[in-house]
Chains A and B, each alone.
Chain A
Amino acid sequence: AQKVTQAQTEISVVEKEDVTLDCVYETRDTTYYLFWYKQPPSGELVFLIRRNSFDEQNEISGRYSWNFQKSTSSFNFTITASQVVDSAVYFCALSEPFTSGANSKLTFGKGITLSVRP
């Protein structure tokens, strides 16, 4: 069965610190997609990044960067120089096909609550 593990449950940092959020996944599929979402207190899940299983290049977007390592089944997320507005719950998710048909579903980790203190 597919599984996403976010072992860290809560992280608290002081503004301007760097922080890494860990994500480990399990799948038997060779084709899959990994995602990170941010959920601020308002509740809406905000899409941050999508990465397919064939692209192991790291990605950087402003203060955000992602490290995808297939060998360790990990897709970690680093926030550089954290800010108070980064405080949210962050979810890692794995897209996998249903057993029948072409449709797919997302399997989410339990999320990591990040608190950035001024």
Chain B
Amino acid sequence: ETGVTQTPRHLVMGMTNKKSLKCEQHLGHNAMYWYKQSAKKPLELMFVYSLEERVENNSVPSRFSPECPNSSHLFLHLHTLQPEDSALYLCASSQEGLITDTQYFGPGTRLTVL
């Protein structure tokens, strides 16, 4: 595997379900990100982790819970979501999370909340 991978690629869940999105990067990076991409909206940064510590939580509702067990893996735990949470969730990584870094993205998880 190379680059940034995300699983699952598609997910349909009910509002009462609990599910998790997984992201893995194979680039040796130390920073990882979750973004949300809704239709007709710019990409929104949700969370940033640097060296497994959360450095930014961009006013995201508590029904989204991130976890970064090591610098290669990032999870987004989902529970009691709303239909408006349906979107493409993109994971990215960068070397150190600095302004000079380039972020590399995974293919995304297309989430549909019924």
Contact = CB atoms under 8 A, between A and B. Distances in A.
A84 to B, nearest CB: 21
A91 interface: yes
Contact of A103 (B42, B48, B88, B105): B48
Contact of B106 (A33, A44, A111): A44
Interface residues of B, number: 26
Interface stretch (B17-25, B61-69, B72-80, B92-100): B92-100
A33 B108 CA distance: 24
A31 B100 CA distance: 9
Main secondary structure of the interface of A (DSSP, over half): strand
Nearest to A32: B99
Interface of A: 4, 31-33, 35, 37, 42-47, 50, 52, 91, 95-98, 101-111
Interface of B: 31, 40-43, 45, 48, 50, 55-56, 88, 90, 92, 97-108, 110
Given A43-B90, A45-B90, A101-B55, 12 more contacts: A37-B105, A43-B108, A44-B108, A47-B103, A95-B99, A98-B56, A103-B56, A104-B98, A104-B99, A105-B48, A110-B40, A111-B42
